Structure 1
């Protein structure tokens, strides 16, 4: 995977695309500097679309985190 992320500005996009490749069992070679700009645009569009989805907004407004057992604090000092 030499020569990836030569711009130094696409770490987040590469991370998301690598997760997506792993999830779908795709080869990581599909993600490279030649197509990462389009991938960034797709990620931005997907986030914009989700933010403007009335059903998702409704679900998020009524979300309640699951109850968890109390966790003991650990002193790292």
Structure 2
């Protein structure tokens, strides 16, 4: 496991963490660990959802093949005469 030392933490943030730790009956270290872990997990979950949505949006429907790009270029070129 990695160790992290946080310097110059705002006094209000430190007080809030201590208060939450006391309310939950855990150490300040445990509360900070939980808070950081939950924050990162939320970001990762949001990223995973966006990535899945992006993959779904770009997925071709079953039975459809990729278009022939050369044919599309030719058609466009011919349209411009």
TM-score normalised per structure 1: 0.34
Q: Which has the larger radius of gyration?
A: 2
Higher RCO structure (Cα 8 Å, ≥6 apart): 1
TM-score normalised per structure 2: 0.32
